[in-house]
Amino acid sequence: MRAVADARGRSADADGQSRSRPTGWNRPTWPRIAGIAALLVLAFIFSRSCQQSQTRVTQEQAIAIAERQIDFEPEQTQVRLLRQGLSSRPFWFVVFSLPKDEGSPQGVAQYRIDANTGEVAEIDQGGRTQQEEQRQR
């Protein structure tokens, strides 16, 4: 048997019986809707996780933020970008120091700055953290 198509797109067998093809859009089924919804949720979660791992604060900005916190003129500055925690959140670690004559540091100030927001997360001045100073007050 040979199929022949007429002007409307319907095919017919050689004996003239027509077979119609669906021409309209099929209605969405619940599994299709659930699949699309799940895809959108995954895309949202992925975009949020990528955004949190970005470093929006540069090394120079982190140094400037930390310098506003100290009350001495440092001779040495060390800066490191490290990721901490389960979410691998990036932090700038900025250390200012004044060396003694023998080589050991006289004044030390350490700052942990969130590389995403620029907030000072932790301060350690002279071996005492910000939390320890608040407990003593």
CATH code, residues 59-136: 3.10.450
CA 92/CA 102 separation, integer angstroms: 28
**pLDDT, tens digit, 9 for 90 and up, residues 106-118:** 778 899 998 888 8
Chain position carrying tokens 């659930």: 34
- The SS3 call for residue 81 is strand
How far is the CA of 67 from the CAs of 36, 78, 96, 97, 123, in angstroms? 49, 12, 9, 12, 12
**pLDDT, tens digit, 9 for 90 and up, residues 19-69:** 555 555 667 788 888 999 999 999 888 877 665 566 788 999 999 999 988
- The SS3 call for residue 64 is helix
Q: What is the pLDDT of residue 52?
A: 58
DSSP annotation of 75: S
Q: What is the pLDDT of residue 6?
A: 53
pTM of the model: 0.53
What are the sequence ranges of the domains in the chain?
A: 4-52, 59-136
Chain position carrying tokens 């003593």: 136
Average pLDDT over the chain, rounded to an integer: 76
